[in-house]
């Protein structure tokens, strides 16, 4: 055994010495450097991205001041565009109803929230298309052609949205009366008597109320199914088994059998029409 260890140590020592000797004799070639001076000028290539220059100077006339204010107003409107789309269109009601459906089915991550928001957006475009088309034909296009001013374009764009919001509250004007009384204004007789800053919060409260009513109706059949499954599990003595795990497949089968997405979409659209 000792002889074996002695010969093994000799072999390892010999291998280590050979490796060190090989590294010592290895030469690393340096890259060739040209000693001839190069007088060539590098070719200038045209960049793919154009150069953008923003300069700030004093206005030369009142028209430039007015244009700067219009540009600032346009940037402000664009920054508030998501809030306008969410609160002044059908997007609010649709998004809340779809979220109620997801919770009633006991689904946590399917479908994702981004998918539900995308569905709400395209359903909003489908419902609001006549309103948007009226705004484009009566406001944006004439303003782009120089036929009307910015103020006139604002009033033309405001009208279709006011009509849409008011139609959703024709049978329930309590919210309008509430905000009118809080501002100390007289009870309105027509839509022209309702200011826009009163109509918008009244419309938001109306949409929240309608969406929650739809959510209650959606929850009722699924709650009954949960109660049936929970009672069955209790009768079999399976107390530790969560009823949601058993009831969720039955909820999905029931939702598919009755064509839940089609019925839900149909009822949401008809609730606005």
Listing DSSP states for 132-200 in one string gives HHHHIIIIIHHHHTTSS-HHHHHHHHHHHHHHHHHHTTSS-THHHHHHHHHTTPPPPSSGGGS-HHHHH
> How would residue 57 be classed by pLDDT, with cut points 50, 70 and 90?
low
- Residue 86 inside a domain? The answer is yes
- Residue 152 inside a domain? The answer is yes
- Residue 9 inside a domain? The answer is no
Q: Which of 132, 129, 109, 93 is nearest to 265 (CA)?
A: 93
- Residue 255 inside a domain? The answer is no
Per-residue pLDDT of 161-191, as tens digits, reads: 888 888 888 767 778 888 888 888 777 777 7
- Residue 129 inside a domain? The answer is yes
Q: In the prediction, which pLDDT does 189 show?
A: 76
Report the chain's mean pLDDT, rounded to a whole number. 76
Q: In the prediction, which pLDDT does 65 show?
A: 60
Model confidence at 34: pLDDT above 60: no
Q: In the prediction, which pLDDT does 140 show?
A: 80
The tally of domains found in the chain comes to 1
Domain that holds residue 114: 74-215
- Residue 241 inside a domain? The answer is no
Average pLDDT for residues 86-98, to the nearest whole number?
A: 88
- Residue 55 inside a domain? The answer is no
Per-residue pLDDT of 15-27, as tens digits, reads: 444 444 444 444 4
Average pLDDT for residues 231-255, to the nearest whole number?
A: 79
User: Degrees (nearest 5) of the Cα angle 234, 216, 83?
Assistant: 130
């Amino acid at each position: 055994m000792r002889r074996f260890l002695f010969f093994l140590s000799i072999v390892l020592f010999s291998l280590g010495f050979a490796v060190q000797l090989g590294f010592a004799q290895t030469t690393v070639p340096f890259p060739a450097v040209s000693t001839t001076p190069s007088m060539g000028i590098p070719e200038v290539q045209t960049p793919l991205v154009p150069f953008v220059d923003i300069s700030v100077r004093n206005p030369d006339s009142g028209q430039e001041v007015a244009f700067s204010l219009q540009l600032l107003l346009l940037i402000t409107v664009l920054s508030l565009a998501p809030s306008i789309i969410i609160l002044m269109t059908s997007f609010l009601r649709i998004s809340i109803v779809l979220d109620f459906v997801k919770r009633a089915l006991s689904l946590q991550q399917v479908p994702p929230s981004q998918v539900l928001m995308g569905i709400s957006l395209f359903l909003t475009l489908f419902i609001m298309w006549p309103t948007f088309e009226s705004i484009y034909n009566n406001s944006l296009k004439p303003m782009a052609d120089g036929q009307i001013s910015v103020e006139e374009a604002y009033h033309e764009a405001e009208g279709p949205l006011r009509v849409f919001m008011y139609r959703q509250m024709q049978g329930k004007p309590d919210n309008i009366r509430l905000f009118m009384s809080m501002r100390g204004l007289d009870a309105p007789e027509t839509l022209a008597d309702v200011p826009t800053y009163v109509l918008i919060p009244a419309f938001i409260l109306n949409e929240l109320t309608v969406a929650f009513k739809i959510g209650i109706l959606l929850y009722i059949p699924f709650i009954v199914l949960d109660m049936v499954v929970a009672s069955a599990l209790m009768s079999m003595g399976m107390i530790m088994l969560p009823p949601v795990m058993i009831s969720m497949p039955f909820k999905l089968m029931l939702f598919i059998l009755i064509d839940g997405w089609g019925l839900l979409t149909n009822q949401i659209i008809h609730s606005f029409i």
